[in-house]
Every structure is written in C-alpha cells, then in structure tokens.
C-alpha cells in the first residue's frame, strides 16, 4: 500500500494550513463564542469559492473521446487517489476547526450517492451547478430521524406514490447545512414492513411545498456549521426526482446505496477526528512546555500514548481510503477507522483538559473547545458501538441487509 503524498496534494495541504491559521480557526472560535453557525453570506465562503473549493467531482456529460483523454492523462502522472487525498485534506481542515470545515460550500454528503446511483439527467441537474461555482452553494443529505440514528434501517419517513409524483411525510434531524442548500437528498421508505428493502432517496429542492419547519439545533460543540431538523408535510416531489429513477425503485437498491456512501465517508469522518486530536495534542504539548510539566515521566508517557494512538488511527483511515481508491471492499476498515479514531482523539482532548486543570474550567482555552467538539465524532455517521457491530457481523459472515 502506498500512502506517499504527491506534490499536488502536499501543496494543497500547505495552502489549507495558511487558510486555517488566518481564517478557519478564528471563525471557529467566533462561532463557538456566539453560539451560532457561520452565516451563509459570510465573506469566507466567497473566498473559498474564489480559491476553487466547493466543486463537484462530476465533470459533466462526456463522450468516448473525453474518457480516452482522461485515461491518457491519468497514466502520465502518478497522483494520489481521490479518497486518500480527500482524507488528508479533511484531516488538515479539521485540525484548524472541524465545524468550519463542514460548513464549507459544496454538494455535500449526497454527492457520492448521486454519482453512483443517479441518472445522467439527475447528475447534470443537481451537480453541474457545482462544476464552476458562480457563488457559494450547498447540497445536503438527510437520513437521520428523531427515532432512527445509527440504526438507519429504522427510518419512518414515508414515500407514497401518487400518479407520476411522490409524497413525502416525516421528520428529519441533524442534517448538515440543509436550510441553506439548493437540494436535500432525503431518504424515505416506500414500505416500513420491507425494512432496508423499502429505502429510497429523493432529491428535494429548496422551496418545494411541504419542505418546512427548519430548526438549527443548539450543540455543545462544532457550532460553526448548522445541524438542522426539518419536516416533510405531504411534500410533493416529481417522479424524476427519485434517485436513480424507476430502475432503483424496482431493484430495491436504496439501502445498499446509502451504505456504500457511508463506507466511503466514514474514513473521512475518522480522519477529521484525527485532525481534532492532533490539534489537542499540539496545544497540550505547548501548555505542558510553558508550565514546566514535561519533567514529569507520567505526563511524558501519556503524551506518547496519545501520539501513538493518533498515528495508528491515521494509518487505519489511510488503509480504508486506499481500498476505496482501488475499488476494493473496505467495510471492515471503514468501520474500524471510525471506531478507533474518535476514541483516540477524545483521549487527546481529555489529557489536555487534565493538564489545563482549573484553566480548562474558564471556557476560554482552545483545548476546552476541542474537548466539546470531539464528542460528536463518535456519533456522526454511525456510533462506535454500531461500527463494532458491523465489524463483528463481517468477521463471522453474517449478512448486512
């Protein structure tokens, strides 16, 4: 396995470091103090668009000549795989502030599902505006519900066929950036008795009647991006907005499509946790050095252990991403990275709080903020407990639905 970083990716990481110092961390601290997400009209988002961020992987409709040219270009230059490059960039952004990182414009978590499951018309309609951004734009993904979190098979939002249209009825929660998004990829069930087999996804556009009651949740950490709840009150969606069209409706591929999305993104979430942990470790080292704590062998031992665990977690993330880049099954590695990285990062922030002592109780030190931020990383996109269930079922050969 090759985890070396090509020059182009290294250059992007260095640019992110500059952006992080000048903009990302100050914005994260500001949002935390104000207790609200960074507004969508903030100049920072315009700056990101100007720097080329927020683009989609979709390149538009292409003919055979374009595909041949792409293959030829790829053979000329050895570049890091997309999954590994995205993972390293996500880790670096989260080092500076994970909340600000998630608030960035872009097609969002739904992009992968649209690329893998969507029709050509759906890709063109919903992703082409993100090819060359004219302004900050967002897309969103809505799976979680008040009574269905890690157990996504238990979603209750109904999708009822009505002629050529679909009617969506239900509630969604903790959907990142959805109130500011052009579209939300909403997961629903056509029949709860079918369990996972009833899952379908729908592209719901901003302003559609019945898409309502947006509420930005107040969180203990990661306040720079919005975690939104909303309601679908007989929201009428055209038939062409069923992700994948009637072919996916008949094949019952919805749940597998959702899980494929998570297998691709869980290593990214894990890498974000590593980024938070690295930040806490650096701040802890600086505090310990400034306060003459490093002569204590117990503190040195704790710092070494945290460093070791974060490096091991990072390697797990890279392995899962390497497998994804080579189109190999990574379900165990994706879940393993997601189970291990947040725990290592939480240990890093906990150690930092112990070193701070009473200073941590003032609420004005970066480590205290990181301590609150990191807690969510064990929850989002499947809790650590669920990841262990996934790994155990795979290891003993049980089906995943």
Q: Where are the alpha helices (DSSP H) in 252-296?
A: 254-290
Q: Return the closest-CA partner of residue 93 out of 323, 269, 306.
A: 269
Q: Tell me if residue 283 is catalytic.
A: no
Phi–psi pair at 236, nearest 5 degrees? -90, 125
Reading the block at residue 154, the tokens are 């238990």
**Most distant pair of Cα atoms in the chain: their distance:** 74
Structure token pair of residue 244:
């994948």
What is the rounded CA–CA span in Å between residue 332 and residue 242?
Answer: 30
Q: What is the DSSP letter of 80?
A: -
Cα gap 245→112, rounded to integer Å: 16
Burial readout 190-214 (b: 16 or more C-beta within 10 A, e: otherwise): beeeeebbbbbbbbbeeebeebeee
269: Cα within 13 Å, side-chain hemisphere: 29
Contacts of 111 (CB under 8 A, 6+ apart): 56, 57, 58, 127, 139
Residue that has been written with the tokens 């490093």 in this structure = 294
Cβ atoms of 111 and 39 closer than 8 Å: no
Contact assessment for residue 382 and residue 150, using Cβ atoms and an 8 Å cutoff = yes
Supply 13's token pair: 């990481």
- Which residue of the set 91, 333, 347, 381 is catalytic? 381
Instruction: Please list the residues that pair with 145 across neighbouring strands.
Output: 148
Closest CA to 109 of 257, 327, 320, 323: 257
- Residues serving a catalytic function are 381
């Amino acid at each position: 396995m090759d985890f070396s970083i090509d020059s182009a990716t290294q250059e992007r990481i260095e640019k992110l470091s500059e952006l992080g110092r000048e903009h990302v961390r100050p914005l994260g601290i500001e949002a935390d103090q104000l207790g609200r997400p960074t507004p969508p009209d903030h100049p920072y988002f315009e700056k990101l668009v100007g720097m080329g961020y927020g683009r989609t992987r979709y390149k538009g409709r292409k003919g055979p000549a374009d595909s041949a040219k792409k293959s030829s270009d790829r053979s000329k230059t050895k570049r890091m795989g997309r999954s590994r490059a995205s993972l390293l960039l996500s880790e670096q952004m989260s080092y500076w502030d994970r909340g600000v990182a998630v608030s960035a414009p872009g097609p969002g978590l739904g992009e992968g599902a649209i690329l893998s499951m969507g029709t050509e018309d759906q890709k063109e309609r919903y992703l082409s505006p993100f090819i060359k951004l004219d302004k900050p734009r967002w897309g969103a993904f809505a799976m979680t519900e008040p009574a269905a979190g890690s157990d996504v098979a238990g979603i209750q939002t109904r999708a009822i066929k009505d002629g050529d249209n679909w009617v969506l009825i239900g509630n969604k929660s903790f959907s990142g950036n959805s109130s500011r998004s052009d579209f939300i990829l909403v997961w629903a069930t056509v029949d709860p008795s079918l369990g996972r087999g009833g899952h379908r996804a729908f592209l719901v556009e901003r302003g559609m009647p019945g898409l309502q009651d947006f509420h930005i949740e107040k969180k203990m950490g990661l306040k720079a991006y919005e975690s939104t709840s909303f309601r679908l009150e007989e929201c009428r969606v055209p038939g062409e907005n069923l992700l994948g069209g009637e072919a996916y409706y008949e094949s019952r591929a919805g749940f597998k499509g959702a899980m494929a999305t998570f297998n691709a993104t869980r290593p990214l979430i894990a890498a974000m946790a590593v980024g938070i942990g690295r930040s806490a470790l650096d701040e802890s080292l600086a505090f310990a050095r400034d306060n003459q704590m490093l002569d204590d062998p117990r503190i040195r031992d704790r710092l070494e252990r945290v460093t070791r665990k974060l490096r091991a977690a990072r390697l797990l993330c890279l392995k899962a991403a390497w497998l994804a880049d080579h189109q190999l099954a990574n379900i165990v590695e994706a879940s393993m990275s997601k189970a291990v990285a947040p725990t290592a990062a939480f240990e890093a922030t906990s150690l930092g709080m112990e070193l701070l002592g009473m200073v941590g109780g003032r609420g004005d030190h970066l480590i205290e903020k990181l301590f609150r931020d990191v807690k969510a990383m064990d929850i989002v996109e499947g809790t650590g407990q669920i990841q262990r269930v996934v790994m155990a079922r795979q290891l003993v050969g049980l089906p995943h639905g």
